Chain A
Amino acid sequence: MPEKGKKSPARPPTHWIEEYSDALFKFARVRVGDRETAKDLVQETFLSALQNIESFRGESSQKTWLTSILKNKIIDYYRKRKTATSVPLIDEDGSSELDKYFDEEGEWKSTAGPVSWNAGGYQILRSKEFLEILQKCLSKLSDHGRSVFVSKYLDELDSEEICKQLDLTSSNYWVIMHRAKLQIRKCIEKNWINA
């Protein structure tokens, strides 16, 4: 996230890549599923910025300005992906994703019930390894799941804003969020060796 209030002098475009590409790439990478997409989005961001350089008014830092362009690129990316792959609430084999977790009565399946995380306290937030697993598990979510999860918990938007942004109905939103949380929790449990 760009630091607000901390302004560094604007740099000429020839210095943009050295100055900003790493931060922009990391920003994008954690929000999309793969490296190539993140790279493309950063490149498109620089291109748009070059084409609209007169719209930079110096009210915010150049980095903040570029990050806001990138944010919009990420939203566009997910909106396009959404129309390309409509929200699959039922899997190909006819079962719902939720069947992996719950039995017919809606109770946890014996294999799916959350186990206690021994290192489950808030101290694990400081664990680099935990954050890396989290990022890996984010990558593994479906586009739908990742886009709502990222908007909610990284960008800290509320459901109403997210629905508007990603063009989702609110009932779809809650279903997607429910699945995303089940998946990401399970993925972390599987990969978190201290669990």
Chain B
Amino acid sequence: MEIIPCKQATFLMSKREEHALTFVETLHLYIHLLVCEFCRRFLKQTRLIAKAAKRAASNESLTSEEKQKMKDSLNLA
């Protein structure tokens, strides 16, 4: 079985998350990951990012002037 290129392997990873791969694609990706350290890292790191995304939160907040403006324009003063 030929080895698929990294471009295709990384593409297939997202589909695999949703079990949207055919049997042949699954095999291709599996074999690719066995031999390619870059793609193994890519998979590991993007999984980590996906996990972190659930906790992603903004550290920005509205200033009191912005809140006051919002109140005024909504006639909630």
| A positions within 8 Å CB-CB of B | 13-14, 16-18, 21-22, 25-26, 29-30, 35, 38-39, 42-43, 46-47, 50, 98, 101-102, 105-108, 113-117, 120, 122, 124-125, 130-132, 134-135, 138, 149-150, 153-154, 156, 158-159, 174, 177-178, 181-182, 184-185, 188-189
Enumerate chain B residues within 8 angstroms of A156, measured Cβ to Cβ.
54
Enumerate chain B residues within 8 angstroms of A108, measured Cβ to Cβ.
6, 38-39
Interface of A: prevailing SS:
helix
- Please, how many angstroms separate the alpha-carbon atoms of A108 and B5 in the complex? 9
Tell me the minimal C-beta distance from B67 to chain A in angstroms: 5
Interface of B: prevailing SS:
helix
Which bucket holds chain B's interface residue count?
35 or more
Question: Restricting to B1-44, which residues have a CB under 8 Å from any CB of A?
Answer: 5-8, 10-11, 13-15, 18, 20, 38-39, 41-42, 44
Known: A22-B62, A114-B38. A131 touches B70 (CB 8 A): no
- Please, how many angstroms separate the alpha-carbon atoms of A114 and B6 in the complex? 12
Enumerate chain A residues within 8 angstroms of B6, measured Cβ to Cβ.
102, 106-108
- Known pairs A102-B5, A150-B53, A153-B53; list 16 more (Cβ under 8 Å): A25-B58, A25-B61, A26-B60, A26-B61, A30-B58, A39-B62, A46-B70, A106-B7, A108-B6, A114-B45, A124-B48, A125-B55, A130-B52, A131-B56, A135-B57, A135-B59
Q: List 29 A-B contacts (CB under 8 A).
A: A13-B76, A17-B67, A22-B62, A25-B60, A25-B62, A102-B6, A107-B5, A107-B6, A113-B38, A120-B44, A124-B52, A125-B48, A125-B52, A125-B55, A134-B56, A135-B56, A135-B58, A138-B56, A150-B53, A153-B50, A153-B53, A156-B54, A174-B11, A174-B14, A178-B11, A181-B13, A181-B49, A185-B42, A189-B45
- Please, how many angstroms separate the alpha-carbon atoms of A120 and B42 in the complex? 12
**Interchain CB contact under 8 A, B48 and A122:** yes
| B positions within 8 Å CB-CB of A | 5-8, 10-11, 13-15, 18, 20, 38-39, 41-42, 44-46, 48-62, 66-67, 70-71, 73-74, 76
